[in-house]
Homo-oligomer: A and B are copies of this chain.
Amino acid sequence: MAGSERLGVAIVGLGGAVATTAVAGMELLRRGRVDTRGLPLAGVKGLGLVDYGALTFGGWDLFEEDLEQAARNHAVLTETQLEAVAPVLRRMRPWPAAFNAKFCKNIVGTATRKSSTLREQVRAIRADLTRFKQEQGLERVVMVNLASTERAVDLTRPEFATPEAFEKALDADDAEIGPAMLYAYAAIVDGIPFANFTPSVAADVPALMLLAKRTGAPIAGKDGKTGQTLLKTVIAPTLRDRALHVEGWYSTNILGNRDGEALDDPASKQNKLDTKGAALDSILGYKVPDHVVQIQYYRPRGDNKEAWDNIDVSGFLGQPMQLKLNFLCKDSILAAPLIVELARTLDLAQRRGEGGVIDALGCFFNAPMSPDGQPVEHATPEQQRRLMAWLGRDRARQAATPQERLRG
């Protein structure tokens, strides 16, 4: 039975706000101090997902502080919640991380591993995973990337085209291979499921997509769909269905956590904007000429973020209307449960023997992946329908009521 097994979740960026919130949250859930609110698949029973209690966390970070200290700094948990799990968090300390200042300028960590070559770094990552499984007695492991956004790279380089070319580039310490790609490679090459919750380039390099298919490693998406893009991909399908023509969509974001700081580097921000831009045009079926996305580091908010969207549409008789959205949300509170569900669904995929891109997990990502260049679905309601269909593949799914979900 899936429920009794133990699943390791190895997180790149374990000391970050999202990861510490996920770790603390699963511990609070285990102790019955919170319910399953916010966990999208809590109501899905009997379809083979491991229980929340089966998850064991570990991972890397550039900062060496223990998770209690990290959680205290991020200030996402309430004081009472933090006190309840402080002893558990205090015992957890990230493993030193691979880092490359050329890929992420605004973040300076102290716990970087001083490896001389890319190959050595890969070896170290794989060794960490092996040790993690042994020490914790884990049946299986999935890897999730939550590290700060890196700068963009050119996906069409020949070095990124095939597993073979990529291996050579690794051997040659290719300067365009960033840390996220390294972690992805280290997981995929051993058939370990990998999800990239950031806009950094990782498993979306063609070489690694091919490799995942060969090794049977389930992979999925890029850049977690938590806030503004979630709303955008919920509303845009209805604007399309009602034939309301989108003349412009102005999206502005303010956020004040380490993520926002990383995005203050224009190179990293571009990567983020790229993953956010494609969804709208794809859903509508035409290019919105004035689609503007702004991200602003704004200290007073801390981990809270705020999105303000203004949408200009024209309707019947060409007449203009406006819709404005203002989302006052919490980055980690929205993201943490999604990476928990990603870990559980990727693990399920692997046990089902599915490898390569699992496109049924698209609802979790701003930039979903699709296998073999098939068109990507961005509309959230349709993604949700596909996820539910995928989960219930083997048997008739009985939709859980929301009340049952809350009961967990």
Contacts and interface: CB of A to CB of B under 8 A. Distances in A.
A310 interface: yes
Contacts of A252: 252, 294, 308
Given A250-B298, A330-B319, A39 B324 contact: no
Interface string A251-276: 01010000000000000000000000
A326 B326 CA distance: 8
A402 B288 CA distance: 12
A241 B36 CA distance: 13
Given A285-B403, A403-B286, A333 B321 contact: yes
Given A381-B238, A402-B285, A336 B310 contact: no
A327 B315 CA distance: 13
Interface centre among A24, A79, A290 (most CB of B within 10 A): A290
Interface stretch (A56-64, A109-117, A157-165, A299-307): A299-307
A317 B403 contact: no
Contact of A38 (B21, B317, B324): B317
A392 interface: no
Contact of A300 (B290, B317, B326): B290
A316 B285 contact: no
A360 to B, nearest CB: 14
A277 to B, nearest CB: 15
25 contacts: A21-B316, A25-B316, A34-B318, A37-B314, A37-B317, A37-B318, A42-B243, A78-B317, A230-B238, A234-B234, A237-B381, A240-B402, A248-B299, A250-B296, A252-B294, A285-B402, A285-B403, A290-B299, A290-B300, A315-B334, A316-B337, A317-B333, A322-B329, A381-B382, A385-B385
Interface of A: 21, 24-25, 28, 34-40, 42-43, 76-81, 230-231, 234-235, 237-238, 240-245, 247-248, 250, 252, 254, 284-286, 289-290, 292, 294, 296, 298-301, 306, 308, 310, 312, 314-330, 333-334, 336-337, 363, 379-382, 384-385, 401-403, 405-406
